């Protein structure tokens, strides 16, 4: 069953090719865009079931064994992230049928969407540092074109900021990878798990500097404080479908890279994890203050992406704790939080797009009366909004509870205070959107738009309802995701199975 690991990359690649072949047929492109995303979900579910049942799986491309060849590896964290990416891709593809205009579709929108999904899946499944860089670049190229597609002035400005900072991140990442290879003569994650403890012991200052380069590179991609400012300057500019998949996935790939590299390669550097703890607190607070100061839906939601990244990095930072239970709880909470946040944040951006379609604006001052006119939309908004704020019994409550519980067990009370403060302001900013867009009467000078047809509205609402249902289901029945997060944390903290699978020649007990 090892070949199963390649299908989450192969399916979007094949869909991209077919979309390009069907260049002259708009209906075929749309059908391929949605059916390819649906098949992507199917293979992602199959991969997660396989990994849950039989443990991590590996595929050595071309039968070249690691660390010399290219390896695709799926453990529980990677398989879960692939499934979350596929679900977000499916919701976006369906939503795009009604949100993306014909001109953008003719310009290759669905092909670019699947290139992005291919890059995301590749980043989650690669078994070495260099190919992680390659998949980051695939994502960057696709996301840059998606951001600029349409050529509007605001889009071009946002795309320029987005690509400039991410190119800086890529340059730092490539430099760090080069130094890592020069030191260890390998870039395989499994091989690095064996070799880096010796490097850290012999050259601790160099190892800290090298890890710092990775922290900066991935910190930019994850929008970690103080490297976050590119995100709220760009995520509000493209169409709602593009903003939604960016919000759901791209920064989480950065967080995934932080988890994978720092837990597997640099676990013996507590000073770096302590720095992460400080950065996580600032990220939570600064991000939520930025959100609370905004008065446009997508700008508010963009700053909230930044704030929520802080919670995920807090869980990673707890790996520095001397208490094994705290390390496990922190990582498990981070995995659960990522799963919850991808669904909720993508959904909120999709709902913002529906508000724009119905009222013609994202500005809170120009909105109002949506609860009276569209009560079903108000309910669909409240589910992810209250989940983001951590209100029970929704998924965000369990995510925040797990994270705060882990931080308390680790006696990181300042971080707990920052998390609670950020949660309170998150709730207040969601209430602000509710009051301004849904509860207050519509202003007399509100923009008037053409009525949204039933078919278009159904295409917009269907993926929102699906993601909202997942949020409610996780909230009511969180045990399966908690169990998966716990096992994923155990695999990360004890990578012996991962190493033995990728490098079967490694001697037992060689891993810390």
Q: Assess whether pLDDT exceeds 80 at residue 65.
A: no
Question: Mind listing the pLDDT tens digit for each residue in 285-297?
Answer: 999 999 998 989 9
CA-nearest of 229, 228, 482, 452 to 334 is 482
**What gap in Å lies between CA 271 and CA 294, rounded to an integer?**
35
| Residue 143 belongs to some domain of the structure | yes
Of all helices (H) and strands (E), which one includes residue 334? helix 324-359
> Whose structure tokens read 């607190």?
281
Confidence of residue 151 (pLDDT cuts 50, 70, 90): low
Q: Assess whether pLDDT exceeds 60 at residue 171.
A: yes
Beta bridge partners of 363: 296
Question: Mind listing the pLDDT tens digit for each residue in 18-55?
Answer: 999 988 888 899 999 999 999 999 999 999 999 999 98
| Residue 342 belongs to some domain of the structure | yes
> Whose structure tokens read 């590996």?
58
pLDDT at 126: 92
Beta carbons of 301 and 270 less than 8 angstroms apart: no
Burial (CB < 10 A; 0-12, 13-18, 19+), residue 55, is middle
Beta carbons of 288 and 426 less than 8 angstroms apart: yes
| Residue 245 belongs to some domain of the structure | yes
Nearest-10 crossing angle of helices 454-476, 324-359: 160
Could you tell me how far CA 311 lies from the centroid of its own chain?
A: 13
pLDDT at 509: 39
Beta carbons of 389 and 430 less than 8 angstroms apart: yes
The three-class DSSP label of residue 363 is strand
Confidence of residue 510 (pLDDT cuts 50, 70, 90): very low
Question: Mind listing the pLDDT tens digit for each residue in 355-396?
Answer: 998 888 888 888 888 898 889 999 999 999 999 999 988 999
| Residue 457 belongs to some domain of the structure | yes
| Residue 33 belongs to some domain of the structure | yes
Residues in the chain: 512
| Residue 499 belongs to some domain of the structure | no
Whole-prediction pTM value? 0.93
CA-nearest of 420, 434, 340 to 388 is 340
pLDDT at 341: 94
Of the two residues 161 and 253, the one the predictor is more confident about is: 253
**Average pLDDT taken over every residue of the chain:** 89
Could you tell me how far CA 179 lies from the centroid of its own chain?
A: 27
| Residue 267 belongs to some domain of the structure | yes
Integer Rg of the chain from CA:
22
Number of folded domains that form the chain: 1
- Region of residue 477 (left: phi > 0; alpha: psi -120 to 50; beta: else): beta
pLDDT at 62: 72
Interval 345-356 mean pLDDT: 93
Interval 331-340 mean pLDDT: 95
Cβ count near 161 (within 10 Å):
18
| DSSP line for 451-482 | PPPHHHHHHHHHHHHHHHHHHHHHHH--HHHH
pLDDT at 511: 38
pLDDT at 352: 93
**What gap in Å lies between CA 426 and CA 424, rounded to an integer?**
5
Which residues have CB under 8 Å from 502's CB, separation 6+?
58, 66, 71, 73, 127, 188, 189, 190, 191
Q: Assess whether pLDDT exceeds 90 at residue 471.
A: yes
**What gap in Å lies between CA 209 and CA 228, rounded to an integer?**
21
**Torsion sign (Cα): 106, 110, 116, 122:** negative
Question: Mind listing the pLDDT tens digit for each residue in 71-127?
Answer: 899 999 999 999 999 999 999 999 999 988 888 888 889 999 999 999 999 999 998
pLDDT at 450: 60
The three-class DSSP label of residue 411 is coil
CA-nearest of 317, 337, 318 to 327 is 318
Q: Which residue range forms the structural domain that includes residue 30?
A: 2-490
- Phi, psi (degrees; rounded to nearest 5) at 363: -70, 130
Interval 327-354 mean pLDDT: 94
CA-nearest of 243, 242, 245 to 89 is 245
**What percentage of residues in the chain have a pLDDT greater than 90?**
58
**What gap in Å lies between CA 407 and CA 397, rounded to an integer?**
15
| Residue 508 belongs to some domain of the structure | no
Six-digit token string for 283: 């990220």
- Phi, psi (degrees; rounded to nearest 5) at 359: -120, -10
Give Dmax over CA atoms of the chain in angstroms.
Answer: 74
Q: Assess whether pLDDT exceeds 90 at residue 432.
A: yes
CA 132, 133, 138 angle in degrees (round to 5)? 95
Confidence of residue 64 (pLDDT cuts 50, 70, 90): confident
> Whose structure tokens read 């995701």?
481
DSSP state, 74?
E
- Phi, psi (degrees; rounded to nearest 5) at 217: -60, -50
Alpha helices (runs of H) in 100-185, residue ranges in sequence order: 102-106, 109-125, 129-148, 153-184
Of the two residues 500 and 83, the one the predictor is more confident about is: 83
Question: Mind listing the pLDDT tens digit for each residue in 387-417?
Answer: 999 998 899 999 999 999 999 999 899 999 9
């Amino acid at each position: 069953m090892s070949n199963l690991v390649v299908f989450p990359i192969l399916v979007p690649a094949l869909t991209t090719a077919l979309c390009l072949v069907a260049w002259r047929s708009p209906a075929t492109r749309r059908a391929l865009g949605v059916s390819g995303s649906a098949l992507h979900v199917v293979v992602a579910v199959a991969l997660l079931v396989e990994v849950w049942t039989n443990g991590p799986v590996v595929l050595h491309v071309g039968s070249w064994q690691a660390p010399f060849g290219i390896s695709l590896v799926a453990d529980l964290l990677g398989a879960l992230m692939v499934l979350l990416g596929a679900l977000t891709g499916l919701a976006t593809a369906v939503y795009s049928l009604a949100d993306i205009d014909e001109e953008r579709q003719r310009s290759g929108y669905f092909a670019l969407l699947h290139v992005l999904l291919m890059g995301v899946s590749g980043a989650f499944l690669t078994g070495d540092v260099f190919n992680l860089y390659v998949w980051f670049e695939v994502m960057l190229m696709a996301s840059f074109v998606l951001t600029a597609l349409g050529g509007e002035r605001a889009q071009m400005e946002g795309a320029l900021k987005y690509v400039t900072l991410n190119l800086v991140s890529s340059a730092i990442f490539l430099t760090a990878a080069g130094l890592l290879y020069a030191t260890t003569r390998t870039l395989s994650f499994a091989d690095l798990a064996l070799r880096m403890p010796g490097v850290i012991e012999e050259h601790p200052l160099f190892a800290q500097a090298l890890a710092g380069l990775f922290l900066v590179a991935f910190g930019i991609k994850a929008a970690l404080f103080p490297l976050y400012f590119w995100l709220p300057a760009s995520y509000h500019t493209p169409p709602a479908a593009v903003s939604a998949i960016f919000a759901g996935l791209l920064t989480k790939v950065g967080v995934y890279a932080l988890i994978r590299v720092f837990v597997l390669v640099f676990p013996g550097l507590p000073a770096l994890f302590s720095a992460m703890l400080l950065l996580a607190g600032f990220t939570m607070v600064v991000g939520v203050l930025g959100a609370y100061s905004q008065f446009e839906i997508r700008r508010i939601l963009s700053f909230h992406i930044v704030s929520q990244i802080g919670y995920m990095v807090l869980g990673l930072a707890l790996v520095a704790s001397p208490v094994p239970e705290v390390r496990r709880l922190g990582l498990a909470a981070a995995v659960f939080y990522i799963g919850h946040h991808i669904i909720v944040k993508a959904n909120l951006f999709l709902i913002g797009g529906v508000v724009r379609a119905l009222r013609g604006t994202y500005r809170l001052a120009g909105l109002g009366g949506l609860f009276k006119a569209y009560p079903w939309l108000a309910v669909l908004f409240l589910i992810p909004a209250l989940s983001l704020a951590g209100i029970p019994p929704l998924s965000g409550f369990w995510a925040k509870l797990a994270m705060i519980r882990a931080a308390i067990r680790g006696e990181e009370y300042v971080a707990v205070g920052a998390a609670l403060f950020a949660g309170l302001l998150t709730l207040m900013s969601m209430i602000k959107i509710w009051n301004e867009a849904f509860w207050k009467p519509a202003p007399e000078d509100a923009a008037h738009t053409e009525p949204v047809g039933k078919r278009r509205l159904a295409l917009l609402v269907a993926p929102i309802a699906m993601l909202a249902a997942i949020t409610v289901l996780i909230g009511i029945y969180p045990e399966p995701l908690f169990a998966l997060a716990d096992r994923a944390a155990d695999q990360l903290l004890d990578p012996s199975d991962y190493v033995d699978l990728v490098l079967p020649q490694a001697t037992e007990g060689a891993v810390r």
